[in-house]
Amino acid sequence: MPEETKVKHEESFQVMPEDAPFESGFNWSTLWAALFVGFVMIPGAIYLGLVNGQNIAGGAEWVTIILFIEIAKRSFVRLRTQEIIIIYWIAGGLVTAGSAGHALFGGPFGAKIWDQYLVSSPQAYGLREYIPGWLCPSIKSSAIADRTFWHSDWLTPILLIVVGGILGRVCGLAMGYVMYVVTNDLQRLTFPMARVYAFGATALAETSAKKEGWRWQVFSIGSFLGAMFGLIYTVVPTLSGVFLTDTVTILPIPFIDFTPSVKAILPATALGLNTNLGELLVGFVLPFWIVVGTFVTSMLTTFIVNPLLFKYGILTSWAPGMTTIPTRVCNDVDFWISFSIGKTLVVAALGIWLAGKALSGG
């Protein structure tokens, strides 16, 4: 009896039943979802990023899936798990669109905002004449003066963005499939976060079939907690900044900065407490020893390595009073970028040597 209960418990944690047939998830439903994401969600995400620097990537995938499930229910159509997973990864393009600008949100256009700022900034004096027009219009262009992308001078930079995006997607799909075969079929890596996304898709597939199980309950509870946290973390500061004189911030965004307070005890040390609940919850999913290793490494770097590097004159750019971000930038320039390059070369050389040894049968 206990053995039977154990088997049922393990089966309940399977993403897909072992005897489930292989079915394609690409059909007219997912095609309509792709069009919805492309013409509604991604432009909305880019516009939101350009206006106030916020990013809806992450939650937009689930919003899209829930919307299509509700439409399917009212059309007496059931979305299968394969279709929901395809829709999820289609909507996952929002993450790419949101992060393509790196420091600025707004997708690939976020980077162009930085380029036009660079062209018109005092720091570019004497150099702006050498910045090519295919990167950004000249400071003499009316596109810069009017602060608009709707100008013919932006045609070439935007065309290069499109071409680069297409080539990058082709390269990503090709190399991504190679890495998938290596990591999933050969090395059999677990990918703990992938199971979370798959369980979310399975939970929504269950509710589409009107067979809500424990996954749907967990999904609903998590959605409610996320909404409550988002209300405190994002909505209150945003609305108070619009309607009140002073912005009301319950939790500092994105972290609580302790760096200026510990400058005498821990010089050249960036110390902050992340207030994003999502980062905390990821730690409950990752394997135990990965969390332990990350914690130990972070503690050693924060409390021992950086103060020693400052003591022996390696971290020279840091000055007392700097906050977390300037401290990180200075430390990276002085030491950690070079250290990362060397570490990457060692790991790459070790991987090539092990691969050659395996191929030669040695």
pLDDT digits (tens, 9 = 90+) for 163-195: 988 898 898 889 888 888 888 888 787 778 777
Residue 292 pLDDT grade (very low, low, confident, very high; cuts 50, 70, 90): very high
Q: How many C-beta neighbours within 10 Å does residue 150 have?
A: 7
Residue 102 pLDDT grade (very low, low, confident, very high; cuts 50, 70, 90): very low
pLDDT in tens, 61-70: 777 778 888 7
Please give the structure tokens belonging to residue 163: 């071409």
Q: What is the predicted pLDDT for the residue at 229?
A: 86
Model confidence at 332: pLDDT above 50: yes
Q: What is the predicted pLDDT for the residue at 204?
A: 74
Top mean pLDDT of 34-48, 192-206, 309-323 is at 309-323
Per the DSSP assignment, residues forming a β-bridge with 273 are: 256
Question: Whole-angstrom Cα distance, residue 149 to residue 162?
Answer: 14
Are 58 and 95 contacting, i.e. CB atoms less than 8 angstroms apart?
yes
Q: What is the predicted pLDDT for the residue at 99?
A: 47
Give backbone dihedrals phi and psi of 285, rounded to 5 degrees, phi first: -100, -35
Lowest mean pLDDT among 195-204, 244-253, 280-289, 319-328: 195-204
Question: Whole-angstrom Cα distance, residue 182 to residue 322?
Answer: 44
| Mean pLDDT value across the chain | 80
pLDDT in tens, 268-289: 998 888 887 878 888 888 888 9
Q: What is the predicted pLDDT for the residue at 309?
A: 92
Please give the structure tokens belonging to residue 87: 């829709």
Model confidence at 5: pLDDT above 70: no
Q: What is the predicted pLDDT for the residue at 53?
A: 56
Question: Whole-angstrom Cα distance, residue 361 to residue 104?
Answer: 49
Question: Whole-angstrom Cα distance, residue 303 to residue 299?
Answer: 6
- Mean pLDDT for 17-26 is 70
pLDDT in tens, 203-245: 777 776 667 777 778 878 888 888 888 888 878 887 887 788 8
Residue 9 pLDDT grade (very low, low, confident, very high; cuts 50, 70, 90): very low
